[in-house]
Amino acid sequence: MLSTISTLLLSTVNFVARPSREILHYLISPLATVAILCSAFTGTAQACSAMNGQTGIASYYGPGFQGRRTANGEVFDMWAMTAAHPCLPMGTKIRVTVVETGRTLIVTVNDRLPSRRRVLDLSAGAARILGITAQGIATVQLSPT
């Protein structure tokens, strides 16, 4: 890994003498690669708010996605106790509590949310157990298991 980072940094330095338009292209690319490599090896989810006590709106998804691949490569089962989160690591188990009713369930993150408007997208099975299928959305609090 160190040799990869060194190579990338040296290649960046070699392009400093080029015109500014080319510098921007060659400077950003290797530095972005270094940042991605470093975050991958530290095992942290970048730009993810602290999970403990995170509160926000959760929704659910199901029939239209049944049998498709999730972000971690699994086949989506809408009756499994799973969820999509914007940035928590795949496989993370989280306790989801519906603020209004106090109902709680542990789900596993196996997919990604395309935006951060919601904190979680639950599988239809998880939403059914939590009692949010009628409303479609609910305010939830996330905590580690």
Whether residue 138 is found in the same domain as residue 77? yes
Q: Tell me the CA end-to-end span of the chain in Å, nearest whole number.
A: 33
Whether residue 131 is found in the same domain as residue 79? yes
Please give the Cα distance from 130 to 111 (Å, whole number).
19
Instruction: Find the domain containing 130 and state its range.
Output: 54-144
> What pLDDT does 49 receive?
54
Please give the Cα distance from 137 to 126 (Å, whole number).
12
Q: Which residues contact 62 (CB under 8 A, 6 or more apart)?
A: 78, 123, 124, 125, 127
Q: Report if residue 47 sits inside a domain.
A: no
Q: Report if residue 49 sits inside a domain.
A: no
The tens-digit pLDDT sequence of the chain (145 residues) is 444 444 444 444 444 444 444 443 444 444 343 333 333 333 443 446 556 789 999 999 988 899 999 999 999 999 999 999 999 999 999 999 999 999 999 999 999 998 788 999 999 999 999 999 999 999 999 999 8
Length of the chain: 145
